[in-house]
Amino acid sequence: MQSLSISATANGLNYLPEYLADREGIFRDAGLDVSAVARDPWTGVLDDLDSGQADIALGGLWVPAMYAGSDRKVSVVCQLNHQFPMAIAIRGATGGGDFTLGDLRGRTVLAPGAGGSVPYEFTAGL
């Protein structure tokens, strides 16, 4: 069995494909022993790569972009997820039936602050 060590900038919906592959045994069935850790602060993924503790890091395209032109060379090697994942959790009744975005009208909506401003911007744009 081969091993793969992953260092991630966070635990979140962006990395759902990795979580699902682990849960469904896809890595195991492929003969791959995968370990993953989320770093706080997120810059820990860069330390893990430099030290060899991690084989790959999960993070957005913004991670290598932040280091463009510097001595630290970080490259994108693949795209795990091409869509912004969004989950809405509600409290209380929605008036019966299936939930629609219209059910948010007149309610307080909290957008997460982790992972940058995109969740807020997307929610505000609705």
**pLDDT of 94 over the 60 cut:** no
How far apart are alpha carbons 75 and 68 in whole angstroms? 9
Q: Over the chain, what is the mean pLDDT?
A: 82
Element (H, E) at 63: helix 62-66
Q: Which pLDDT belongs to residue 33?
A: 96
Query: Could you read off the pLDDT of 31-72 as tens digits, one per residue?
Result: 999 999 999 988 899 999 989 999 999 887 777 888 888 888
How far apart are alpha carbons 112 and 97 in whole angstroms? 26
Residue 58 per-residue DSSP state? E
Q: Which pLDDT belongs to residue 44?
A: 93
